[in-house]
Protein backbone atom coordinates (compact mmCIF):
# COMPACT_ATOMS: atom_id res chain seq x y z
CA UNK A 1 0.00 0.00 0.00
CA UNK A 2 1.21 3.50 -0.73
CA UNK A 3 0.81 6.26 1.82
CA UNK A 4 1.48 9.96 1.42
CA UNK A 5 3.14 12.23 3.97
CA UNK A 6 0.88 15.12 4.99
CA UNK A 7 2.91 16.42 7.93
CA UNK A 8 6.34 15.83 9.42
CA UNK A 9 7.18 17.41 12.75
CA UNK A 10 10.53 17.32 14.52
CA UNK A 11 9.50 17.27 18.19
CA UNK A 12 12.98 17.67 19.66
CA UNK A 13 15.32 20.63 18.98
CA UNK A 14 17.90 20.15 16.19
CA UNK A 15 20.68 20.57 18.74
CA UNK A 16 19.46 17.71 20.90
CA UNK A 17 21.25 14.36 20.96
CA UNK A 18 18.04 12.64 19.99
CA UNK A 19 15.72 13.61 17.15
CA UNK A 20 12.17 12.40 17.53
CA UNK A 21 9.61 12.94 14.77
CA UNK A 22 5.83 12.71 14.51
CA UNK A 23 4.86 11.95 10.92
CA UNK A 24 1.30 11.97 9.58
CA UNK A 25 0.30 9.99 6.50
CA UNK A 26 -2.84 9.43 4.46
CA UNK A 27 -3.99 7.36 1.50
CA UNK A 28 -2.92 9.26 -1.67
CA UNK A 29 -6.52 9.22 -2.96
CA UNK A 30 -7.97 9.96 0.46
CA UNK A 31 -9.39 6.43 0.93
CA UNK A 32 -10.33 5.27 4.44
CA UNK A 33 -7.56 3.67 6.44
CA UNK A 34 -8.30 0.47 8.28
CA UNK A 35 -6.38 0.00 11.53
CA UNK A 36 -6.96 0.10 15.26
CA UNK A 37 -4.96 1.90 17.95
CA UNK A 38 -2.30 -0.54 19.17
CA UNK A 39 -1.60 -1.85 15.63
CA UNK A 40 1.69 -1.27 13.79
CA UNK A 41 2.65 0.39 10.54
CA UNK A 42 5.49 -1.33 8.71
CA UNK A 43 7.64 0.80 6.44
CA UNK A 44 9.66 -0.35 3.45
CA UNK A 45 12.60 2.06 3.33
CA UNK A 46 15.31 2.93 0.81
CA UNK A 47 18.98 2.58 1.80
CA UNK A 48 21.24 5.66 2.08
CA UNK A 49 22.70 6.47 -1.37
CA UNK A 50 26.15 7.28 0.06
CA UNK A 51 26.43 3.86 1.70
CA UNK A 52 25.31 2.14 -1.54
CA UNK A 53 28.05 4.03 -3.45
CA UNK A 54 30.75 3.05 -0.97
CA UNK A 55 29.74 -0.62 -1.06
CA UNK A 56 29.76 -0.60 -4.88
CA UNK A 57 33.28 0.85 -4.82
CA UNK A 58 34.44 -1.75 -2.31
CA UNK A 59 32.98 -4.55 -4.47
CA UNK A 60 34.51 -2.98 -7.58
CA UNK A 61 31.13 -2.81 -9.31
CA UNK A 62 29.55 -0.02 -11.38
CA UNK A 63 26.00 -0.72 -10.20
CA UNK A 64 24.61 -1.33 -13.68
CA UNK A 65 25.35 -5.08 -13.52
CA UNK A 66 22.22 -7.25 -13.28
CA UNK A 67 21.54 -9.60 -10.40
CA UNK A 68 18.67 -12.02 -9.72
CA UNK A 69 17.09 -11.73 -6.27
CA UNK A 70 14.75 -14.31 -4.80
CA UNK A 71 11.88 -11.88 -4.16
CA UNK A 72 12.48 -9.00 -6.58
CA UNK A 73 13.68 -10.99 -9.62
CA UNK A 74 16.20 -9.38 -11.99
CA UNK A 75 17.33 -5.91 -10.93
CA UNK A 76 20.45 -3.77 -11.30
CA UNK A 77 23.07 -4.11 -8.57
CA UNK A 78 22.42 -0.45 -7.61
CA UNK A 79 18.75 -1.19 -7.19
CA UNK A 80 19.46 -4.37 -5.24
CA UNK A 81 21.71 -2.53 -2.77
CA UNK A 82 19.46 0.55 -2.67
CA UNK A 83 16.05 -1.04 -2.26
CA UNK A 84 16.15 -4.76 -1.68
CA UNK A 85 19.02 -5.82 0.58
CA UNK A 86 20.03 -5.10 4.20
CA UNK A 87 23.19 -2.98 4.28
CA UNK A 88 22.85 -0.70 7.34
CA UNK A 89 22.72 -3.70 9.69
CA UNK A 90 25.08 -6.64 9.84
CA UNK A 91 23.07 -9.81 10.30
CA UNK A 92 24.94 -12.23 12.64
CA UNK A 93 23.79 -15.06 10.32
CA UNK A 94 26.34 -13.76 7.77
CA UNK A 95 29.12 -14.17 10.34
CA UNK A 96 27.96 -17.68 11.14
CA UNK A 97 27.99 -18.60 7.44
CA UNK A 98 31.42 -17.00 6.96
CA UNK A 99 32.82 -19.03 9.83
CA UNK A 100 31.23 -22.30 8.73
CA UNK A 101 31.82 -22.07 4.99
CA UNK A 102 34.99 -19.97 4.71
CA UNK A 103 36.63 -20.45 8.12
CA UNK A 104 36.72 -16.64 8.53
CA UNK A 105 36.40 -14.87 11.90
CA UNK A 106 37.14 -16.05 15.41
CA UNK A 107 33.83 -15.67 17.18
CA UNK A 108 33.38 -18.08 20.05
CA UNK A 109 29.64 -18.51 19.45
CA UNK A 110 26.33 -16.81 18.67
CA UNK A 111 26.58 -14.26 21.50
CA UNK A 112 30.01 -13.13 20.26
CA UNK A 113 28.62 -12.76 16.72
CA UNK A 114 25.70 -10.65 17.97
CA UNK A 115 28.09 -8.46 19.94
CA UNK A 116 30.39 -8.03 16.92
CA UNK A 117 27.45 -7.20 14.61
CA UNK A 118 25.97 -4.52 16.90
CA UNK A 119 26.83 -1.10 15.44
CA UNK A 120 28.55 -2.55 12.36
CA UNK A 121 27.15 -2.40 8.83
CA UNK A 122 28.01 -4.17 5.58
CA UNK A 123 30.72 -1.65 4.71
CA UNK A 124 32.47 -2.42 8.03
CA UNK A 125 32.35 -6.12 7.16
CA UNK A 126 33.90 -5.52 3.73
CA UNK A 127 36.63 -3.38 5.34
CA UNK A 128 37.45 -5.88 8.06
CA UNK A 129 37.20 -8.92 5.75
CA UNK A 130 38.53 -7.83 2.33
CA UNK A 131 38.22 -11.47 1.18
CA UNK A 132 34.45 -10.89 1.17
CA UNK A 133 34.83 -7.79 -1.04
CA UNK A 134 36.82 -9.82 -3.56
CA UNK A 135 33.68 -11.84 -4.27
CA UNK A 136 32.29 -8.87 -6.22
CA UNK A 137 28.72 -9.44 -7.40
CA UNK A 138 28.60 -12.90 -5.71
CA UNK A 139 28.74 -11.14 -2.35
CA UNK A 140 25.14 -9.95 -2.85
CA UNK A 141 23.99 -13.55 -2.29
CA UNK A 142 25.20 -13.21 1.29
CA UNK A 143 22.88 -10.31 2.08
CA UNK A 144 19.42 -10.62 3.65
CA UNK A 145 16.35 -8.99 2.05
CA UNK A 146 15.71 -5.45 3.37
CA UNK A 147 13.12 -6.04 6.09
CA UNK A 148 10.24 -3.63 6.66
CA UNK A 149 10.58 -1.83 10.01
CA UNK A 150 7.74 -1.79 12.56
CA UNK A 151 6.32 1.41 14.08
CA UNK A 152 3.59 1.56 16.72
CA UNK A 153 0.67 3.56 15.38
CA UNK A 154 0.24 6.83 17.29
CA UNK A 155 -3.26 7.77 16.11
CA UNK A 156 -6.89 6.62 15.98
CA UNK A 157 -8.43 8.00 12.81
CA UNK A 158 -9.66 6.46 9.57
CA UNK A 159 -8.36 9.45 7.58
CA UNK A 160 -4.74 9.60 8.71
CA UNK A 161 -2.14 7.50 10.49
CA UNK A 162 0.68 8.84 12.64
CA UNK A 163 4.00 7.37 13.75
CA UNK A 164 6.33 8.66 16.44
CA UNK A 165 9.94 7.62 15.95
CA UNK A 166 13.51 8.36 16.90
CA UNK A 167 16.02 8.85 14.07
CA UNK A 168 18.68 6.22 14.81
CA UNK A 169 22.04 8.00 14.47
CA UNK A 170 25.29 7.01 16.11
CA UNK A 171 29.03 7.00 15.61
CA UNK A 172 30.88 3.71 15.25
CA UNK A 173 34.38 2.88 13.94
CA UNK A 174 34.91 6.60 13.21
CA UNK A 175 31.91 6.71 10.89
CA UNK A 176 28.55 8.46 11.33
CA UNK A 177 25.82 5.84 10.97
CA UNK A 178 22.12 6.28 10.17
CA UNK A 179 19.45 3.61 10.63
CA UNK A 180 17.76 3.02 7.27
CA UNK A 181 14.04 3.30 7.99
CA UNK A 182 14.02 5.93 10.72
CA UNK A 183 16.22 8.28 8.66
CA UNK A 184 14.31 7.54 5.46
CA UNK A 185 11.14 8.62 7.28
CA UNK A 186 12.87 11.62 8.86
CA UNK A 187 14.02 12.83 5.43
CA UNK A 188 10.57 12.81 3.81
CA UNK A 189 8.57 15.92 2.97
CA UNK A 190 4.85 16.59 2.53
CA UNK A 191 3.55 14.92 -0.62
CA UNK A 192 6.20 12.15 -0.66
CA UNK A 193 4.90 8.60 -1.08
CA UNK A 194 6.09 5.54 0.84
CA UNK A 195 5.42 1.80 0.77
CA UNK A 196 3.82 0.74 4.04
CA UNK A 197 1.45 -1.85 5.51
CA UNK A 198 -0.80 -2.07 8.54
CA UNK A 199 -0.06 -5.01 10.85
CA UNK A 200 -2.62 -6.06 13.42
CA UNK A 201 -1.50 -6.39 17.02
CA UNK A 202 -4.25 -8.26 18.87
CA UNK A 203 -2.05 -8.34 22.00
CA UNK A 204 -2.17 -4.55 22.48
CA UNK A 205 -5.77 -3.42 22.36
CA UNK A 206 -8.07 -1.13 24.31
CA UNK A 207 -10.70 -2.93 26.41
CA UNK A 208 -14.06 -3.42 24.65
CA UNK A 209 -15.82 -1.62 27.50
CA UNK A 210 -14.84 2.07 27.41
CA UNK A 211 -15.60 2.29 31.13
CA UNK A 212 -12.73 -0.09 32.00
CA UNK A 213 -9.88 1.96 33.49
CA UNK A 214 -6.54 1.82 31.68
CA UNK A 215 -3.03 2.45 33.00
CA UNK A 216 -0.33 3.16 30.40
CA UNK A 217 3.42 3.00 31.05
CA UNK A 218 5.78 4.28 28.34
CA UNK A 219 9.27 5.70 27.91
CA UNK A 220 10.75 7.44 24.88
CA UNK A 221 9.01 6.48 21.65
CA UNK A 222 7.07 3.99 23.77
CA UNK A 223 4.60 6.87 24.09
CA UNK A 224 3.40 6.23 20.52
CA UNK A 225 0.50 3.77 20.96
CA UNK A 226 -0.81 5.69 23.96
CA UNK A 227 -1.41 8.75 21.75
CA UNK A 228 -3.68 6.52 19.66
CA UNK A 229 -5.35 5.04 22.74
CA UNK A 230 -6.07 8.51 24.11
CA UNK A 231 -7.40 9.81 20.78
CA UNK A 232 -9.84 6.88 20.83
CA UNK A 233 -10.80 7.16 24.51
CA UNK A 234 -11.59 10.90 24.34
CA UNK A 235 -14.09 10.24 21.54
CA UNK A 236 -16.46 8.86 24.22
CA UNK A 237 -18.05 11.58 26.36
CA UNK A 238 -17.83 9.46 29.51
CA UNK A 239 -15.16 6.82 29.73
CA UNK A 240 -13.14 5.02 32.37
CA UNK A 241 -10.04 6.47 34.01
CA UNK A 242 -6.96 6.93 31.83
CA UNK A 243 -3.58 7.08 33.57
CA UNK A 244 -0.30 7.66 31.75
CA UNK A 245 3.16 7.24 33.28
CA UNK A 246 5.66 8.61 30.76
CA UNK A 247 9.44 8.88 31.01
CA UNK A 248 11.95 10.81 28.92
CA UNK A 249 15.36 12.40 29.40
CA UNK A 250 14.76 16.17 29.82
CA UNK A 251 11.60 18.21 30.14
CA UNK A 252 13.04 21.08 28.08
CA UNK A 253 14.09 19.01 25.04
CA UNK A 254 12.27 15.72 25.13
CA UNK A 255 8.78 16.21 26.52
CA UNK A 256 7.26 14.44 23.51
CA UNK A 257 3.75 15.65 22.57
CA UNK A 258 3.50 17.22 26.04
CA UNK A 259 1.15 20.00 24.87
CA UNK A 260 -1.33 17.36 23.76
CA UNK A 261 -0.87 15.36 26.97
CA UNK A 262 -1.38 18.49 29.09
CA UNK A 263 -4.50 19.33 27.07
CA UNK A 264 -6.03 15.93 27.85
CA UNK A 265 -5.04 16.41 31.48
CA UNK A 266 -6.60 19.89 31.64
CA UNK A 267 -9.81 18.50 30.10
CA UNK A 268 -9.96 15.97 32.97
CA UNK A 269 -9.46 13.00 30.62
CA UNK A 270 -5.93 11.97 31.61
CA UNK A 271 -4.10 11.48 34.89
CA UNK A 272 -0.56 12.32 33.78
CA UNK A 273 2.66 11.36 35.60
CA UNK A 274 5.96 12.47 34.05
CA UNK A 275 9.50 11.35 34.91
CA UNK A 276 12.55 13.10 33.44
CA UNK A 277 15.64 11.01 34.02
CA UNK A 278 18.27 13.68 33.44
CA UNK A 279 16.71 16.76 35.05
CA UNK A 280 18.22 16.04 38.48
CA UNK A 281 21.27 14.34 39.93
CA UNK A 282 19.55 10.99 40.48
CA UNK A 283 17.80 9.04 37.71
CA UNK A 284 14.03 9.37 37.92
CA UNK A 285 12.22 6.71 35.90
CA UNK A 286 8.63 5.61 35.27
CA UNK A 287 8.94 2.85 37.88
CA UNK A 288 9.75 5.48 40.55
CA UNK A 289 6.49 7.28 39.72
CA UNK A 290 4.70 3.94 39.80
CA UNK A 291 6.01 3.22 43.29
CA UNK A 292 4.92 6.70 44.48
CA UNK A 293 1.37 6.03 43.22
CA UNK A 294 1.14 2.51 44.60
CA UNK A 295 -2.09 2.97 46.54
CA UNK A 296 -3.96 4.46 43.60
CA UNK A 297 -2.57 1.90 41.14
CA UNK A 298 -3.29 -1.10 43.32
CA UNK A 299 -6.90 0.08 43.79
CA UNK A 300 -7.23 0.37 40.01
CA UNK A 301 -5.72 -3.11 39.52
CA UNK A 302 -8.27 -4.52 41.92
CA UNK A 303 -11.01 -2.62 40.09
CA UNK A 304 -10.09 -4.46 36.86
CA UNK A 305 -7.88 -1.87 35.13
CA UNK A 306 -5.92 -3.00 32.06
CA UNK A 307 -2.17 -2.34 32.22
CA UNK A 308 -0.14 -1.41 29.12
CA UNK A 309 3.66 -1.19 28.81
CA UNK A 310 5.44 0.17 25.73
CA UNK A 311 9.12 0.99 25.13
CA UNK A 312 12.44 -0.62 25.76
CA UNK A 313 12.51 -4.39 25.98
CA UNK A 314 15.86 -4.23 27.75
CA UNK A 315 15.26 -1.51 30.33
CA UNK A 316 11.70 -0.32 30.92
CA UNK A 317 9.84 -3.62 30.55
CA UNK A 318 11.97 -5.72 32.96
CA UNK A 319 11.86 -2.96 35.59
CA UNK A 320 8.07 -2.70 35.47
CA UNK A 321 7.61 -6.46 35.35
CA UNK A 322 9.76 -6.80 38.48
CA UNK A 323 7.82 -4.10 40.31
CA UNK A 324 4.38 -5.54 39.47
CA UNK A 325 5.52 -8.97 40.65
CA UNK A 326 6.86 -7.43 43.87
CA UNK A 327 3.44 -5.87 44.45
CA UNK A 328 1.72 -9.22 43.79
CA UNK A 329 3.93 -10.69 46.51
CA UNK A 330 3.37 -7.83 48.96
CA UNK A 331 -0.36 -7.36 48.42
CA UNK A 332 -1.49 -10.94 47.80
CA UNK A 333 1.00 -12.80 50.00
CA UNK A 334 2.39 -14.75 47.01
CA UNK A 335 5.87 -16.21 46.73
CA UNK A 336 8.08 -15.32 43.76
CA UNK A 337 6.98 -18.22 41.55
CA UNK A 338 3.27 -17.59 42.23
CA UNK A 339 3.79 -13.88 41.47
CA UNK A 340 5.45 -14.82 38.18
CA UNK A 341 2.57 -17.21 37.40
CA UNK A 342 0.04 -14.42 38.07
CA UNK A 343 1.99 -12.09 35.79
CA UNK A 344 1.97 -14.71 33.02
CA UNK A 345 -1.70 -15.49 33.51
CA UNK A 346 -2.55 -11.74 33.47
CA UNK A 347 -0.69 -11.43 30.19
CA UNK A 348 -2.61 -14.36 28.71
CA UNK A 349 -5.88 -12.82 29.86
CA UNK A 350 -4.76 -9.44 28.43
CA UNK A 351 -5.03 -7.70 31.80
CA UNK A 352 -1.38 -6.80 31.19
CA UNK A 353 -0.34 -6.01 27.60
CA UNK A 354 3.16 -5.31 26.28
CA UNK A 355 4.43 -3.73 23.07
CA UNK A 356 8.19 -3.70 23.65
CA UNK A 357 11.14 -3.63 21.29
C1 LIG B 1 7.04 -4.07 17.47
C2 LIG B 1 7.96 -2.89 17.25
C3 LIG B 1 7.45 -1.60 17.37
C4 LIG B 1 8.32 -0.51 17.19
N5 LIG B 1 7.81 0.74 17.32
C6 LIG B 1 8.64 1.81 17.17
C7 LIG B 1 8.14 3.14 17.33
O8 LIG B 1 6.95 3.37 17.56
N9 LIG B 1 9.03 4.15 17.20
C10 LIG B 1 10.36 3.92 16.95
O11 LIG B 1 11.13 4.89 16.87
N12 LIG B 1 10.84 2.69 16.78
C13 LIG B 1 10.02 1.64 16.87
N14 LIG B 1 10.51 0.38 16.69
C15 LIG B 1 11.90 0.22 16.24
C16 LIG B 1 11.91 0.32 14.69
O17 LIG B 1 11.20 -0.77 14.12
C18 LIG B 1 13.32 0.28 14.10
O19 LIG B 1 14.00 -0.83 14.63
C20 LIG B 1 14.10 1.53 14.39
O21 LIG B 1 13.47 2.68 13.83
C22 LIG B 1 15.50 1.41 13.79
O23 LIG B 1 15.38 1.05 12.44
P24 LIG B 1 16.32 1.68 11.34
O25 LIG B 1 16.00 0.99 10.06
O26 LIG B 1 16.28 3.17 11.36
O27 LIG B 1 17.76 1.28 11.84
P28 LIG B 1 18.63 0.05 11.28
O29 LIG B 1 19.15 0.38 9.94
O30 LIG B 1 17.86 -1.19 11.46
O31 LIG B 1 19.83 0.10 12.29
C32 LIG B 1 19.65 -0.35 13.60
C33 LIG B 1 20.96 -0.95 14.03
O34 LIG B 1 21.87 0.10 14.31
C35 LIG B 1 22.70 -0.28 15.37
N36 LIG B 1 22.58 0.76 16.41
C37 LIG B 1 21.49 1.49 16.73
N38 LIG B 1 21.79 2.36 17.70
C39 LIG B 1 23.07 2.18 17.99
C40 LIG B 1 23.97 2.76 18.91
N41 LIG B 1 23.57 3.73 19.72
N42 LIG B 1 25.24 2.29 18.95
C43 LIG B 1 25.67 1.32 18.11
N44 LIG B 1 24.86 0.74 17.22
C45 LIG B 1 23.59 1.15 17.17
C46 LIG B 1 22.28 -1.63 15.83
O47 LIG B 1 23.12 -2.56 15.20
C48 LIG B 1 20.87 -1.73 15.32
O49 LIG B 1 20.50 -3.04 15.10
C50 LIG B 1 9.67 -0.72 16.86
C51 LIG B 1 10.15 -2.03 16.72
C52 LIG B 1 9.31 -3.08 16.90
C53 LIG B 1 9.87 -4.48 16.74
N1 LIG C 1 16.80 -1.24 17.39
C2 LIG C 1 17.00 0.07 17.24
O3 LIG C 1 17.87 0.51 16.55
C4 LIG C 1 16.09 1.02 17.95
C5 LIG C 1 15.72 2.22 17.37
C6 LIG C 1 14.85 3.09 18.03
C7 LIG C 1 14.41 2.75 19.28
N8 LIG C 1 14.80 1.57 19.80
C9 LIG C 1 14.35 1.18 21.10
O10 LIG C 1 13.15 1.85 21.30
C11 LIG C 1 12.98 2.10 22.67
C12 LIG C 1 12.72 3.58 22.89
O13 LIG C 1 13.90 4.30 22.59
P14 LIG C 1 14.03 5.80 23.03
O15 LIG C 1 15.42 6.29 22.77
O16 LIG C 1 12.89 6.58 22.51
O17 LIG C 1 13.84 5.71 24.59
P18 LIG C 1 14.70 5.00 25.71
O19 LIG C 1 16.09 4.75 25.27
O20 LIG C 1 13.91 3.87 26.21
O21 LIG C 1 14.79 6.19 26.80
C22 LIG C 1 13.61 6.86 27.29
C23 LIG C 1 13.72 7.08 28.78
O24 LIG C 1 13.79 5.82 29.44
C25 LIG C 1 14.79 5.94 30.43
N26 LIG C 1 15.32 4.66 30.90
C27 LIG C 1 16.56 4.14 30.75
N28 LIG C 1 16.69 3.00 31.44
C29 LIG C 1 15.50 2.79 32.06
C30 LIG C 1 15.03 1.79 32.93
N31 LIG C 1 15.77 0.75 33.31
N32 LIG C 1 13.77 1.88 33.36
C33 LIG C 1 12.98 2.90 32.99
N34 LIG C 1 13.38 3.90 32.20
C35 LIG C 1 14.63 3.84 31.71
C36 LIG C 1 15.83 6.81 29.78
O37 LIG C 1 16.69 7.36 30.78
P38 LIG C 1 18.27 7.56 30.65
O39 LIG C 1 18.63 7.32 29.20
O40 LIG C 1 18.53 8.98 31.07
O41 LIG C 1 18.90 6.59 31.58
C42 LIG C 1 14.96 7.86 29.16
O43 LIG C 1 14.59 8.84 30.10
C44 LIG C 1 14.21 1.54 23.28
O45 LIG C 1 14.00 0.16 23.47
C46 LIG C 1 15.22 1.65 22.20
O47 LIG C 1 16.31 0.79 22.44
C48 LIG C 1 15.61 0.72 19.17
Domain assignments of the chain as residue spans, ordered by start: 2-45+148-199, 49-142, 214-356
Which ligand is closest to the CA of 313, given by its number? Answer: 2
Question: With a 6 A CB cut-off, is 172 part of the ligand 1 pocket?
Answer: yes
Q: Is the pTM of this model over 0.85?
A: yes
What's the alpha-carbon Rg for the chain, to the nearest Å? 23
Cα of 278 from ligand 2 centre, angstroms = 13
The band of 238, judged by pLDDT with boundaries at 50, 70 and 90, is confident
pLDDT over 90 for what percent of the chain? 96
Mutate to test the pocket of ligand 1, among 86, 145, 148, 357 (most ligand atoms within 8 A of CB): 357
Q: What confidence score (pLDDT) does residue 178 get?
A: 95
Residues 125-144 have a mean pLDDT of: 97
Give dist(CA 12, CA 349) in Å, integer. Answer: 37
Which protein residues touch ligand 2 with a CB less than 6 Å away? Answer: 166, 168, 179, 219-222, 247-249, 277-278, 283, 285-287, 311-313, 315-316, 319, 357
Give dist(CA 198, CA 330) in Å, integer. Answer: 41
pLDDT in tens, 262-313: 999 999 999 999 999 999 999 999 999 999 999 999 999 999 999 999 999 9
Looking at residue 82, the DSSP 8-state letter turns out to be I
Instruction: Please say whether the beta carbons of 270 and 261 come within 8 A.
Output: yes
Q: What confidence score (pLDDT) does residue 236 get?
A: 87
Give dist(CA 157, CA 5) in Å, integer. Answer: 15
Name the residue among 183, 176, 153 with its Cα closest to residue 20: 183
Q: How far is CA 276 from the centre of its chain?
A: 20
Name the residue among 217, 224, 256, 231 with its Cα closest to residue 353: 217
As a whole number, the mean pLDDT across the chain is 97
Assign domain 49-142 one CATH number from 1.25.40, 1.20.120, 1.20.990, 1.20.1050.
1.20.990
Q: What confidence score (pLDDT) does residue 17 get?
A: 80
Top-confidence residue, 172 or 14:
172
The band of 173, judged by pLDDT with boundaries at 50, 70 and 90, is confident
Phi first, then psi, for residue 61 (nearest 5°) are -120, 155
Name the residue among 304, 348, 293, 342 with its Cα closest to residue 321: 342
pLDDT in tens, 9-63: 999 987 678 999 999 999 999 999 999 999 999 999 999 999 999 999 999 999 9
Which ligand is closest to the CA of 279, given by its number? Answer: 2
Instruction: Please say whether the beta carbons of 187 and 23 come within 8 A.
Output: no
Q: What confidence score (pLDDT) does residue 117 get?
A: 98
CATH 3.40.50.2000 fits 2-45+148-199, yes or no: no
Q: What confidence score (pLDDT) does residue 14 get?
A: 72
Residues 83-98 have a mean pLDDT of: 98
- Look at residue 5 and tell me whether its pLDDT is greater than 90: yes
Class of domain 214-356: alpha beta
Q: What confidence score (pLDDT) does residue 56 get?
A: 98
Mutate to test the pocket of ligand 2, among 119, 220, 249, 275 (most ligand atoms within 8 A of CB): 220
Q: What confidence score (pLDDT) does residue 13 get?
A: 86
Phi first, then psi, for residue 341 (nearest 5°) are -65, -40
Give dist(CA 297, CA 176) in Å, integer. Answer: 44
Q: What confidence score (pLDDT) does residue 54 get?
A: 98
Question: With a 6 A CB cut-off, is 357 part of the ligand 1 pocket?
Answer: yes
Give dist(CA 204, CA 337) in Å, integer. Answer: 25
The residue count for the chain: 357
- Look at residue 95 and tell me whether its pLDDT is greater than 80: yes
Residue 83: count other Cβ atoms within 10 Å of its Cβ.
17
Amino acid sequence: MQLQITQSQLLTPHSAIKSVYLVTLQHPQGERLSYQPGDWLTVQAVNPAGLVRQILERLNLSGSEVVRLRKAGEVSVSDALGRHLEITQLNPAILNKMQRQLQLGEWSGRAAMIEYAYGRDILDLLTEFPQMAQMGIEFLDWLAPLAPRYYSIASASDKTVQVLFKAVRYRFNDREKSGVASNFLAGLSCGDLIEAEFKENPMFKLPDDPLTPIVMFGAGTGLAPFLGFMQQRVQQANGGDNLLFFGETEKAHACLCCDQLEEWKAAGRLDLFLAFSRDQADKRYVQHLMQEQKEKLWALWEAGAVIYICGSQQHLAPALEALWQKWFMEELGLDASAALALWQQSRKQKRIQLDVY
